[in-house]
Each structure stands twice: as C-alpha cells, then as structure tokens.
Chain A
Amino acid sequence: MSNYAKILLVDDDKDIALSFKLALQYEGFSVEVFDSSIKALENFRPKSFKLALIDMKMPEMDGIELYKKIRNKDELIKICFITAYDWDNDQVKEFTDCFIKKPITLEGLVKMVKREIEQI
C-alpha cells in the first residue's frame, strides 16, 4: 500500500532529482519532480502527496521558504529536507526532524522514505 504513496521531489540539481526519482519509482513510489521551488509551488495540489523531499539550497526560493508555503497549503503532508550542507540542523529542527543527508545511497534513501511514510 505504502509503496504506492505519492512523493513530491524538489531539487535544482537535475542529476540528483533524476537519480532519486528513478530509484523511488523502481521501488514503486509515484514521484513528481521539480527542479525549482517556484515551479513546484505553482503545481502543488494539497492532499495529493504523502511526502515531500525538498532540497534546502535552491535559487529563487530556498527549502525553508518552500516548506512554509507548502505547509500553508497542506497541513498533513510529511516534509523532509535534503541537504548537502554540513551545518547543524538547529535552524530547521523546528520544522521537521526528517533530514536526508547527501550523499546517500539509493538503498538508504528508499529505506528512509519507507520508514517516514510508515510513521504517518
């Protein structure tokens, strides 16, 4: 059941976005990908995604800003940050406890996504 959950993926790095999407699709998830926050927000439909994976560092609008906007539209969606940054997570902990730290193996990514969805 959970394998059919719909996932929103936002990352300005197209290669990463593609590799994550393919890996998740391979596991049976339905993944909608955007390479910019603006596009993602424009196309966001509330209650259609179980989980959102958002890159933190993006041009135009960063991950935290996008988080707030999505949260305004959808109270139930589980949101995880993807980050390649080495900073400590204090400033984003108030938003979520879910962090996907790059680099991560695709198995690791899938495992983490499954666990997050099961917790919902």
Chain B
Amino acid sequence: MKDEKAKKKISGKLSINKKNIILILIIIIILSSIGLFFFLQTTTEENIKKSIFNKFRDNKIESTTIVADHIASDLQSVMLILQGIVDLVSVQSPGAFEEKFNKILNEKLSSINKITEVNGIYFLNNKNIIKYEMLSQLNQSLIGTDLSNKNYIKQMNQSLKPSFSNGFIGTDDIYRIALIVPILSNDSSRYAGAVQVTISTEKFFEHYGNIHDVNSQFLVVYDKKGNLLAVGADKSLLGENFFNEKVQNFTNHNPILMNNTVKLLQGISGYAIYDYGRGERLTTTYPVLIEGKPEYFVQIVNPTLSLYSEINKVIIGEEVKTFFLLLGTIAAVASLIVILVKWNIILNKEVKTRTSELEESNKLLKGTNEELLQANEALKIHDRMQKEFINIASHEIKTPVQSILGFSQLLGMYPEKQTEFIDSLQRNAYRLQRLSNDLLEVTKIESKAFKLKKEVFTLNDTILKVVKEQNTILENSREREVKLILHKPNEPIIVEADNERIGAVVSNLISNAIKFTEVGEIIINVKKENSQYVLVSVRDTGSGIDQRISAKLFSKFTTTSFQGIGLGLYISKNIIKAHGGRIWGENNKDSRGGATFYFRLPLFVED
C-alpha cells in the first residue's frame, strides 16, 4: 500500500513537471518567435536604411558629378572667350584699331561677367607685366603690375598652354584663381604675352552650392595643391591648405576624410562616411575635368542626421504597424492556443466519460452475460427437470392405472378374490387421487391461483385424524415395524387455517417419515411455541435427509424415493408459507439418527 501511494505521488509530480515543461516550451516558443521577429525586423530595417542611404549616396554622387561638370563647363566657357581674345590679338596687336578692339573686348568682358564676376581682362607682355586692361566698372587699374613671380605664370611660360591657376590672394586681398591663355608669336614658338582673368573663388563657387552653412549640405572645392578654394565648413579656412595644421585640427585629423581627399586630388572620385565630431557626414567627390584633365576638385559634404531622421520617421511608422501586426498575431495565436487547450480539456473529459461509460457498460455486459449464462444454465436445469418430471409423472400415473386396469379385468377371471381385488382397486384409486391432487396443487401454486379456504378449527383434532389414517395404512401394509406416537398438547390449539391443506401437510410429513423408516418410531409433537405460534414436529428414526438433496429439499421434483413424484414438500412449503408460517427439516443429532421436520403456524387470535 505505502509503495503504491509513493508511486502515485511520484507520478503526480511527474505529471506536474510535464505540464510545467509544456508551459515553459510554449513561453520559449513565443519569446523566440518574438525575438526572431525583432531580429528579422531589425535586419529588414537595416536593409531599408542601407538601401535608402545607398540611394541617397548614389544621388549625391550623381549631383556632385553634375556640379563638377557644371563648374568645368563654366570655366571652359571663360577660357574659350579668353582664347577668342587671344586669337583676335594674334591677328591684330592691341592698340591698333583701338576703338573697335575695345568694343569687342568689352563685349567679351560682359560675356565673362555673365558667367562669373571678374575685375577685368588683363593683357601681359612677354615680361609678364600688365600692359593693357579692360576693367569692369570702377575697378582699380593694374597696369604695370609685374606678375612674373606668380607660380601659375611661371608654369604657363614653360608649357605655353592655357592654364587654370591654384588659389592665391589677389592684389585686392580676395582669394582668387586665374585663367590665363598665352599669346604666341606668329610661328608659335615664342611667348609674346598672355590674356588673363582672375576669379574670386568665393563668389564663383557660391553659384554651385552652399559654401556658408556647415550644418546643411555644403560645398568644398580644392585646387591641385589642396588649397581650399571654397569651403562651407568655416569661412576662415578659405585659402588654407587641407593638409595644414589648421584644417587638420578642424577635421580632427579624420583619416577617412584624409584618404578621401587625397584620392580626390589624384582625380579619383568616390565617397566617404565619417564623423570628425560634428555628426556623421557623407562626402561625395568629383574632379572638375576640363578637356579630360582635372583642374579643380569638388567635395559635397552632407550631414546624414537629417537623412536618418527622415529614414527613422518612415521606419518608426513601419515599426508601429508591424508591432500591432505582431500583437494581433500573438493575440490570435494565444487565443488559438487557449481554444486548443480548452478543446483538449473538453476532449479529455469526454474521453474519460466515454471510457468510464464503456467500462460501466462492459461491467454491465459482463454481468448480463453472467446472468444470461446463469439463466441459460437454469433453463437447462429446468428443462432437464421438466423432462424428468414428465417421466416420473407418467410413471406415477401409469402405475396405479395399470393396477386398476388389471384388477378390474381380473374380477371376471377370479370372482372368488373379489374382496381382495376391490381393496387393491381402492388403494390404487386413492393413490391416483393423491397424485392428481398433488398435480392440481402444483398447477395452482405455479399459476398463482392458489387460495386457502380458511376456517377456525382445533389443530389437535386434525392432526389426530391424520395420524389415525396413516396408522391404518401402516397396519394394512404390515411391512414396516414402525410405530406412530402422537404427543398431544393438554390444551386445544386453535388456528385459523385451511383445515384440509394443513392435514395434507401433516399427512405428507408422516408418510415421508414412514417411507424412509424401516424400523423404529415416528413421534408427532404439537405444542404452543409462544402466545403467537404453534410448532408441529415429525421426528423419525429413518435414513435421514440425503446430503445430495438437502439443499433443495423443498423444491419441486426432489425425491430419492422410488415411490412418489417429489412434490409433497414443495406443496407443503407453499401451504405453510401461505399461512404466514415456516417449514423446515434437519437430521437428528442423537445416536438413533433419522430426521425431524417442523412447521410453525400462527395461532388464532380473537379480535
């Protein structure tokens, strides 16, 4: 028993653990789904960001290219005008047809000024001294200024080709670049002078983009040395060299920017993302190519903050949408799980109910089956008993009939034995009568038509009468040495009963006793048991009740005798029962043996 309990406890714990494990698994699944979802979400966002950013970057690269081309095209236009002037000078030296020349020159100047503002067009002699000028408005005259020290002049003198200068501080303290075209002698071998314009870098480059506000997209332009011709980051840096301490301090020596700029100055375009302490920037670069040669270098710097805030706005909107989608999905899955769990519980209950019902019906079936088997067995027994009864009954009927038939015929053959034959006839007729009475009684009992004819009478008299009859039969047969002894009570015992049938019961008990007793005595005792009952007993010294039939002594067709049909005790029991009494029999325990049969009847009570 203890072991079983312990087992139950363990299995209980196990089942709880199982439930916990399932619960934990569900939580893990949900959490990992959410985790996976957010991972995917983040990855997707990153991809979106990257994609948007790349588009933005490509866009910027393209616009940088356009800006650089635009600058190149404008500078080239100026250069072409200067070339046109040089061509004019080659045909006619300045000074000749001055009036007409000046008119043309003026037109050229206004054309240049339409592109970008210049102070004027200056003519240099072969010693690089300004000899002639066409000024815009009221600008200072530079005639007589010696430019031979200027690097771009020196280079131009060597190459004898039109050139774009690096940045320099002009005579008016304005940072400038110069565009110069040499004038060659007629055989093109000798330097005869040059025509030049100088352009204020600040004024020129502000046409192409912001060069003032560091916090939004701005433009940076370098010359070939890395001097800053235009810079949106800080005006004070104008004219400074990128590689100088001042600029490098400003950019915090940012290596990415450095690398980007170095490459740009080599003519390689590209982009860079970096942060030198003022927020992340995207920088796109492109050289200003004139006739395929890089002359200046454009850098467009874009703070990415605004871009990202735009991206984030979009992504947050998407995030909110997906979050609600996820929430909805989780709610749907959760309710699905709840429904499934409930369904499972209901199913389990149903299964349990069905199982117990099945078990019940199985038990019932087993029971019914057993009952059926028993009933079948009972039927078989009943059937056998019926057949047996028919045999016994037919034997019992035919036997006296045979005698009656025989003796009635013998009367004619042996007239002298008439008296003897008539006795035999009578005896067999009685026997037949008793038999038919018994059969009739049984039929009544079986068909519930058994009714007592009750009357008030003295039991003593009835019993005495029966004993006398039995004694007569006993004496006539002269076969047995059996004595009938009646112990009469001193007082009359009054009962309200079926006189004839009570007599039949007593008669049956006595004749049974005689049947099974060869030698000895049969004592009939009648006495009041108490104020309510009388007890009648018939005690013999015969063979006793056969063990084989003692259990069904009072059932139909129970007999071990070769005379009789086995109905006597059955009928007696039914008669006594109908009177509210009881009948029973038992073997005697003393040395003489035999059996005693008793019946108890209620006494008559006057109202």
Q: Across the interface, do A16 and B562 meet the contact criterion of CB distance under 8 Å?
A: no
- Cβ-defined partner of B414 (8 Å) among A13, A22, A57, A105: A22
Q: Chain A CB within 10 Å — which of B390, B405, B414, B428 has the most?
A: B405
Binds B, one of A45-53, A64-72, A80-88, A89-97: A80-88
Complex CA gap A8/B143 in Å reads 193
Instruction: Indicate if B413 sits at the interface (CB-CB under 8 A).
Output: yes
Instruction: Indicate if B169 sits at the interface (CB-CB under 8 A).
Output: no
Q: Measured between C-beta atoms, what is the minimum distance from A47 to chain B in Å?
A: 29
Complex CA gap A19/B412 in Å reads 12
Q: Across the interface, do B402 and A103 meet the contact criterion of CB distance under 8 Å?
A: yes
21 contacts between A and B (CB under 8 A): A13-B402, A13-B403, A15-B403, A15-B406, A16-B406, A19-B403, A22-B410, A23-B410, A84-B394, A84-B398, A84-B399, A84-B402, A85-B391, A85-B394, A86-B394, A102-B401, A103-B405, A105-B405, A105-B409, A106-B409, A107-B409
Instruction: Indicate if B424 sits at the interface (CB-CB under 8 A).
Output: yes
Contact residues of A: prevailing secondary structure: loop
Chain B 383-421 interface mask (CB, 8 Å, partner A; 1/0): 000000011001100111111011101100110000000
Complex CA gap A23/B407 in Å reads 9
Instruction: Indicate if A12 sits at the interface (CB-CB under 8 A).
Output: yes
Q: Across the interface, do B391 and A87 meet the contact criterion of CB distance under 8 Å?
A: yes
What 3 pairs across the A-B complex have the smallest Cβ distances?
A: A19-B406, A84-B398, A15-B403
Nearest neighbor of B409 in chain A, beta-carbon distance: A106
Contact residues of B: prevailing secondary structure: helix
Nearest neighbor of A84 in chain B, beta-carbon distance: B398
Tell me which residues across on chain A come within 8 A of B424, comparing CB atoms: 15, 18-19
Tell me which residues across on chain B come within 8 A of A58, comparing CB atoms: 562
Q: How many residues of A contact B (CB 8 A)?
A: 23
Complex CA gap A87/B393 in Å reads 12
- Cβ-defined partner of A59 (8 Å) among B391, B427, B562: B562
Interface size class of B (residues with CB under 8 A): 20 to 34
Q: Chain B CB within 10 Å — which of A23, A59, A104, A106 has the most?
A: A106
- Cβ-defined partner of B413 (8 Å) among A26, A85, A86: A26
Tell me which residues across on chain B come within 8 A of A34, comparing CB atoms: none
Instruction: Indicate if A29 sits at the interface (CB-CB under 8 A).
Output: no
Tell me which residues across on chain B come within 8 A of A12, comparing CB atoms: 562
Q: Across the interface, do B395 and A22 meet the contact criterion of CB distance under 8 Å?
A: no
Q: Measured between C-beta atoms, what is the minimum distance from A82 to chain B in Å?
A: 9
Tell me which residues across on chain A come within 8 A of B409, comparing CB atoms: 19, 23, 105-107
Complex CA gap A23/B414 in Å reads 10
Q: Measured between C-beta atoms, what is the minimum distance from B78 to chain A in Å?
A: 149
Q: Measured between C-beta atoms, what is the minimum distance from A26 to chain B in Å?
A: 5
Complex CA gap A59/B563 in Å reads 9
Q: Across the interface, do A20 and B395 meet the contact criterion of CB distance under 8 Å?
A: no
Complex CA gap A12/B414 in Å reads 23
Q: Across the interface, do A20 and B399 meet the contact criterion of CB distance under 8 Å?
A: no
Nearest neighbor of A62 in chain B, beta-carbon distance: B562
Using known A-B contacts A18-B424, A86-B390, determine if residue A23 contacts B406 with beta carbons closer than 8 Å. yes
Q: Across the interface, do A103 and B407 meet the contact criterion of CB distance under 8 Å?
A: no
Q: Measured between C-beta atoms, what is the minimum distance from B516 to chain A in Å?
A: 12
Q: Measured between C-beta atoms, what is the minimum distance from A29 to chain B in Å?
A: 13
Tell me which residues across on chain A come within 8 A of B413, comparing CB atoms: 22-23, 26
Complex CA gap A88/B401 in Å reads 21
Using known A-B contacts A15-B427, A87-B391, determine if residue A102 contacts B399 with beta carbons closer than 8 Å. yes
Tell me which residues across on chain A come within 8 A of B427, comparing CB atoms: 15
Using a CB-CB cutoff of 8 Å, which residues 76-112 of chain B contact chain A? none
Q: Across the interface, do B562 and A103 meet the contact criterion of CB distance under 8 Å?
A: no
Nearest neighbor of B420 in chain A, beta-carbon distance: A18
Nearest neighbor of A56 in chain B, beta-carbon distance: B395
Given contacts A23-B409, A58-B562, A106-B405, 4 further A-B contacts (CB under 8 A): A16-B406, A85-B394, A102-B399, A103-B398
